[in-house]
Amino acid sequence: MEEGSLTGLGLEFSKRRGEAIRLELRRVLTARRTPYQQLEIVEALSCGRALFLDGKIQSAEEDEFIYHEALVQPAMVLHPRPEAVLVIGGGEGATLREALRHRTVKRAVMVDIDAEAVAACREHLAAWHQGAFADPRVQLLHRDARGYLEESAERYDVIVVDVTDPLAGGPAYRLFTQEFYHIVLAHLNEAGVLAVQAESADLGVLEPHLAVARTIGSVFPHAAAYNVHVPSFGESWGFVVAPRERHPLDLTAEEVDRVLAERGVSGLRFYDGESHRRLFLLPKYLRQLLAGGAPVITDAEPVFVA
């Protein structure tokens, strides 16, 4: 082989059955097994540092802003005055960072089961958390989020569920069921909003996304599925936002921009009024599939990602 070929250190991850992405690496910052999952933090030539959990890309330096703004900002903007925020998962700290941009926020609780993974992110992914873990409004807990909610009476304005894929045998699948969303609903204030990372929205691997959207829609009145292309994933990633009061498309671009300005939100690179509209306008085939009959996920009949 010639100079410049994709040799040397690499990381290959599955995109879907029969399809994989190979990244050329500059460095491996850490590769280890935590009590909960296999973790790698690497530095790739193409997309900078990147976090992998159980062989799946979580976010990359280059474009984590797209993923995290898309996950968090619509929910924050849809709430009239978010003061108490709960982040479930979100080990990199960037989900927290996005919530803290809104100066209305007085308290942000983050519950991530894997203390070792969070510590590795704090050490190696400073560009993600940007000090969010040290914000005085933040409380960080390492425990099972479902157990935490079941024992707690606290209510929140916005709850963001940013957990890993529901892998068979993994810990996350119980955070994608109808029973869990009922628990979440019971911990939201009146105008509360739920936002959920909801698996790939790509053709051919849509089933989990459709099922999560359908399941949340069976519990919340205004659940809206949306997605955004994340270059380092090579996929259009899906989310669901579920406001208790109004649908995301009820907001004009101008309203979104006004809310962001009123709350002193700065530093956004992906999200604003126009991006908000783009996010919630969906391609024809996807609207049709979302209107179709995906199954509701339950504790008894969970959905797993391969």
Strand partners, 159: 86, 194
Task: Single out the residue of 81, 103, 106, 278 in contact with its own copies (rule: CB under 8 A).
Answer: 278
120 lies in the binding site for its own copies (CB under 8 A): no
Binding to its own copies by CB under 8 A, coded x per residue (else -) over 66-105, reads x---------------------------------------
> What's the CA gap between 9 and 243, in Å, rounded?
44
CA-based R_g, the chain, Å? 18
The residue type of 124 is: H
244 lies in the binding site for its own copies (CB under 8 A): no
CB neighbours (10 Å) of residue 33? 10
236 lies in the binding site for its own copies (CB under 8 A): yes
Residue 30 gets the label, from left (phi > 0), alpha (psi -120 to 50) or beta, of beta
Task: Single out the residue of 64, 112, 199, 202 in contact with its own copies (rule: CB under 8 A).
Answer: 202
304 lies in the binding site for its own copies (CB under 8 A): no
- Using the CB atoms, write b or e for 214-232: b if 16+ within 10 Å: bbbbebbebbbbbbbebeb
In the complex, least distance from residue 27 CB atom to its own copies, rounded to whole angstroms: 6
Compare residues 159 and 228 and give the one whose CB is closer to its own copies: 228
> What's the CA gap between 107 and 181, in Å, rounded?
22
CA 140-141-142 angle, to 5 degrees, is 130
> What's the CA gap between 278 and 54, in Å, rounded?
31
Compare residues 86 and 120 and give the one whose CB is closer to its own copies: 120
Compare residues 46 and 152 and give the one whose CB is closer to its own copies: 46
Question: Known catalytic residue: 272?
Answer: no
Q: Which one of the spans 7-15, 128-136, 147-155, 191-199 is the region binding its own copies (CB under 8 A)?
A: 7-15
Task: Single out the residue of 35, 131, 147, 204 in contact with its own copies (rule: CB under 8 A).
Answer: 204
287 lies in the binding site for its own copies (CB under 8 A): yes
CA 72-225-292 angle, to 5 degrees, is 165
Residue 137, C-beta contacts closer than 8 angstroms, at least 6 positions apart: 100, 105, 106, 107, 108
252 lies in the binding site for its own copies (CB under 8 A): no
Which residue ranges make up the site for its own copies (CB under 8 A)? 1-28, 31, 38, 40, 42, 44-47, 55, 62-63, 66, 202-204, 228-229, 231, 234-236, 268-272, 274-275, 277-278, 281-285, 287, 306
The residues annotated with a catalytic role in the active site are 162
